[in-house]
Amino acid sequence: MTFLRSALFALALNFISGIAYANPISPIVIKFSHVVAPNAPKGKAVLFFKERAERYCEGKIRIDVYPNSELYKDKDEIEALQLGAVQMLAPSFSKFSPLGIKEFEVIDLPFLFQNKADLRKVINGPVGRWLLGRLDSKGFVGLAFWDNGFKIMSANRPIKTPENMRGLKMRIQPSRVLQIQMQAWGAVPKILAFKDVYQALQTGIVDGTENPPSNMYTQKMHEVQKYATLTYHGYLGYVVVVNKAFWDDLPDNIRANLEKALAEATAYANEIAQKENDDALVAMKKSSKIEFYTPTPEEMKAWTDTAKTIHATAAERVGTDLLEEIYKETGVKP
């Protein structure tokens, strides 16, 4: 009798879990992992995407967002996407290098773009499409580019010109181009995951770093750095990527709704990024924890004069044809 009752119970349980599994209204879950704070430009754009995507898909999709490297750090999140442990990410261009797509590093070159308009021309044109296409062979689909902004330089001592960078240990993203850039300025580059930057600055593992103001502020880096210089020397932005097998398996109408939500999130991301960076700069100035310096035109020339050598050294790494194509599109060549 006891046996019969427990067998019936097990049967009922199987039946119920079978229903739950096959339930047509249980949503498809997209795990979206990222490394920045929820109130950084990327963090906000991901939440915007979640809201739109879930609304357009009418309960058939749920987006679980994991900010601040909660789930994975830089390199691990890329591997997790390849393995299908997460479905979506928005890493910066540099983060694709360890995967073997070194051409993405071209965007890291200092003084490649004079402004966002030049940048957009390039990433929204054939170069951008080509870069996205490079992701296919890695099991990703590149869906969109999201803005952050131009980087400033921070350190535990004042920096006015590249001369002042000599000997400074500088945290960089995993990019050979950024390594070349820092070495050209006499600094000692050190690759660290974004999550580890605050502590590395605090404990003196590195002396300084480069990032747009919004990332500095939302990670509280200004509390562990004494000086920052508004060099705006290089660009940092994102590539929204999805696991290809997952994407290809989605029903057509779901994919179409996700694309619609993403197009709107992209417009939103690109619209808010500049203001987020401007506001972050104001907030950090107000905090009086860090001193900001704006280089004079002569000092700025000392920075831009280094571009020619850095670009020439990095050309082979990123591809000479690709670089020449970008120069052609922007009309600017150092």
**Closer to ligand LMR by Cβ: residue 179 or 215:** 215
Which of 30, 31, 32, 35 is in the footprint of ligand LMR by CB under 6 A? Answer: 35
Q: Which is nearer to ligand LMR, 112 or 250 (CB)?
A: 112
- Please report how close the Cβ of residue 128 comes to ligand LMR at its closest, in angstroms: 18
Residue among 215 and 306 whose Cβ is closer to ligand LMR: 215
Q: Is 200 in the site for ligand LMR (CB under 6 A)?
A: no
Tell which one of 36, 131, 170, 258 touches ligand LMR (CB under 6 A): 36
Which member of 69, 154, 173, 231 binds ligand LMR (CB under 6 A)?
173
* Interatomic CA distance for residues 231 and 211, integer angstroms: 11
Handedness of CA 35, 37, 38, 41 (dihedral sign): negative
Q: Residue 161 or 175: which CB sits closer to ligand LMR?
A: 175
Q: Which of residues 88-147 bind ligand LMR (CB under 6 A)?
A: 92
> By CB under 6 A, is residue 231 in contact with ligand LMR?
no
| CB of 206 closer than 8 Å to CB of 192 | yes
229 part of the interface to ligand LMR, by CB under 6 A: no
Contact flag: residue 306 with ligand LMR (CB under 6 A):
no
Residue closer to ligand LMR by CB (options 211, 229) is 211
Interface with ligand LMR, residue 175, by CB under 6 A: no
> Does residue 211 bind ligand LMR (CB under 6 A)?
yes
Contact residues for ligand LMR (CB under 6 A)? 35-36, 42, 92, 148, 173, 194, 211, 215
